[in-house]
Amino acid sequence: MNDVKKDLKKPAKIMLREIVDKVYAEAWEAKKRGEPVGWSSSKFPAEIAETLGLKVCYPENQAAAIAAKHGGKRMCEYAESLGYDNDICGYARISLAFAAGAECEEKPMPQPDFLLCCNNICNCMTKWYENIARMHNIPLIMIDIPYNNTPEVNDENITYIRAQFENAIKQLEKISGKKFNTEKFKRVCENANRTAKAWLKACSFCQYKPSPLSGFDLFNHMAVVVTARCRKESAEAFEALAAEYEESVNNGTSTWHYDENYRIMFEGIPCWPELQNLFRPLKEKGINTTAIVYAPAFGFVYNNMDEMIRAYCKAPNSVCLETGVDWREGICRENKVDGILVHYNRSCKPWSGYMPEMERRFRKDLGVAVVGFDGDQADPRNFANAQYITRVEGLYEIMESKKNGGL
């Protein structure tokens, strides 16, 4: 009895970590049983594979974990030795290296029997997965989401994507040997919605001053939204996380253990190999991150198939400039930021490609300090700590000057 109680009190952080571990453990078990295991891009409609009971791993999540454990350079170099240019996204290079057989103790996962590719986040995905399909000679299920130039998604896009969803279901029925059960699909969608709502709720606690959390925590917790958003336990874990934050607000505690002199949005994904370096000047100067773009980007809620399709059209890098700006300015206002630190991520062309224009809009619309630095989410060779420190100092100075009534 006592044990159960203790278990109920498990910190949400642990619950979340265990969920990701379980996703990979289940994939290994499925592989051992001889069941097909898939690899999926982070914003492929996970609801489909989940409904069919297929076990799936997530190369982007794997690449982030490898990079955070300092295996990024080694894996990237391995991919380069196979002929992949160092200009290519670091996640793709790490994943291609792993698929080609590079040793990787940081985060091993079963090799794939089928691939789920959705290019809403980038076109790089298309060729990355094609390359893996070629290496392993396995089926590739491709859902193409055309880029949007307006905040609304056009009806012809919905019709096109709906047909692809149906196609994907048929292909996956064959792979799984199961019939697609619409009742189960409904339940899976309910879970996904509940997870998204709980994720958004947890993220929303950044609005409190001081914030009960360090925004960087959310980058870690995001792994669950990527790998397990259709599971009930994910929703429960995020609900628990939100409850913890609520308690912290009431108790005046926080996972950010430093001064909160300033609050910023961290634009983009962090440089995983450099988390310590990223963090150091921020904590020294008491700058907490209270806004990250992944909050709205993964918090999608829908009520029917059409809405679900529209939701999958709204990924970072698939929305137009105006929607991208809206998302960011929304969370900057809600979470009361004083500045924005823009990561010019060498790995991510679609993301970094409109950042200079976004910077201008942030300055104009929000009047906050905006400073950029050069980095990479996975390849440490593209990050210079000295430049980063100088830029954070610059950001701090502008925020100070604004606070003191300067420009």
Partner 1 sequence: MTDIEILLAQFEEIANNPKKQLEQYISEGKKVIGCYPYYVPEELIYAAGMIPMGLWGKRGNPNKAKEYFAPFYCSLVQMNLEMALNGDLQKLSGVVHTTLCDTLRPSSQNFRVAMDKIPMIFLAHPQNRKPEFGVEYTMAIYSKMLNQLEEIVGRKVSAGDIKEAIKVYNENRQAKREFVKNAGMHPELISAVQRSAVLKSSYFMEKHLHTTMLNELNKMLQASPIEEWHGTRVVTSGIICDNPSFLKILDDNRIAIAADDVAHESRSFRKDAPYNEDPIRSLAVQFADQDQDTILYDPSLNSRPSHIIDLVKNSNAQGVIVLMMTFCDPEEMEYPSLYNALKEAKIPCLKIGYNHQITDFGQARTSLQAFAEVLSMKN
Residue 289: count other Cβ atoms within 10 Å of its Cβ.
26
Q: Nearest Cα to 262, choosing from 238, 282, 235?
A: 282
Given partner 1, ligand SF4, none, residue 85, with its beta carbon under 5 to 8 Å by kind, binds: partner 1
Residue 348 touching ligand SF4 (CB under 6 A): yes
Amino acid in the structure at residue 91: Y
If binding is defined by CB under 6 A, does position 368 make contact with ligand SF4?
no
Cβ atoms 299, 232 nearer than 8 A: no
The answer to whether 7 contacts partner 1 (rule: CB under 8 A) is: no
Distance CA 94, CA 103 (A): 11
Binding residue for partner 1, selected from 123, 181, 387, 401, defined by CB under 8 A? 123
- Residue 317 touching ligand SF4 (CB under 6 A): yes
| Structure-token pair, residue 91 | 């996640």
Question: Which option in partner 1, ligand SF4, none does residue 82 bind, with CB closer than 5 to 8 A by kind?
Answer: partner 1
Interacting residues with ligand SF4 between 18 and 47 (CB under 6 A): none
The span of 57-65, 136-144, 183-191, 225-233 binding partner 1 (CB under 8 A) equals 136-144
165 binds partner 1 (CB under 8 A): no
> According to the binding rule CB under 8 A, does residue 346 interact with partner 1?
yes
Contacting residues for 55 by C-beta, under 8 A, at least 6 apart:
26, 27, 29, 30, 31, 35, 37, 38
Q: Which stretch binds ligand SF4 (CB under 6 A): 171-179, 182-190, 273-281, 342-350?
A: 342-350
Applying CB under 6 A, does 223 fall inside the site for ligand SF4? Answer: no
The stretch among 84-92, 191-199, 213-221, 223-231 that binds partner 1 (CB under 8 A) is 84-92
Q: Which two three-digit tokens encode residue 30?
A: 């499925």
Q: In sequence order, what are the residues at sequence separation of 6 or more whose Cβ sits closer than 8 angstroms to the Cβ of residue 182? A: none
**By the 8 A CB rule, do 221 and 176 touch?**
no
Binding to partner 1 in span 305-334, by CB under 8 A = 317, 320-321
The one among 39, 58, 84, 238 contacting partner 1 by CB under 8 A: 84
Nearest approach in angstroms of CB 76 to partner 1 is 13
Q: Is 116 in the site for ligand SF4 (CB under 6 A)?
A: no
Q: What is the dihedral of CA 203, 26, 50, 310, to 10 degrees?
A: 40
Tell me: does residue 89 bind ligand SF4 (CB under 6 A): yes
Residue 94 binding target from partner 1, ligand SF4, none, CB below 5 to 8 Å by type:
none
95 binds partner 1 (CB under 8 A): no
What SS3 state is found at 291? strand
Binding to partner 1 by residue 101, rule CB under 8 A? Answer: no
Convert 32-96 into a string of H (helix), E (strand) and C (coil).
HHCCCEEEECCCCCHHHHHHCCCEEECHHHHHHHHHHCCCHHHHHHHHHHCCCCCCCCHHHHHHH
Q: Which residues from 181-240 bind partner 1, rule CB under 8 A?
A: none
Taken in order 112, 113, 116, 119, the sign of the CA dihedral is positive
Which two tokens mark 172? 């996956």
Q: Give dist(CA 332, CA 76) in Å, integer.
A: 34
Tell me: does residue 355 bind ligand SF4 (CB under 6 A).
Answer: no
91 binds, among partner 1, ligand SF4, none (CB under 5 to 8 A by kind): ligand SF4
- The contacts of residue 192 (CB under 8 Å, 6+ apart) are 46, 47, 229, 230
What track of x and - describes contact with ligand SF4 for positions 51 through 80 (by CB under 6 A)?
Answer: ---------x--------------------
Q: Summarize as ranges the residues that interact with partner 1 (CB under 8 A).
A: 82-85, 87-89, 92, 119, 122-124, 126-128, 130-131, 133-134, 140, 142-144, 146-149, 154, 156-157, 159-160, 163-164, 167, 317, 320-321, 344, 346, 349-350, 352-357, 374
Q: Which residues bind ligand SF4 (CB under 6 A)?
A: 60, 89, 91-92, 121-122, 124-125, 317, 347-348, 350-351, 377
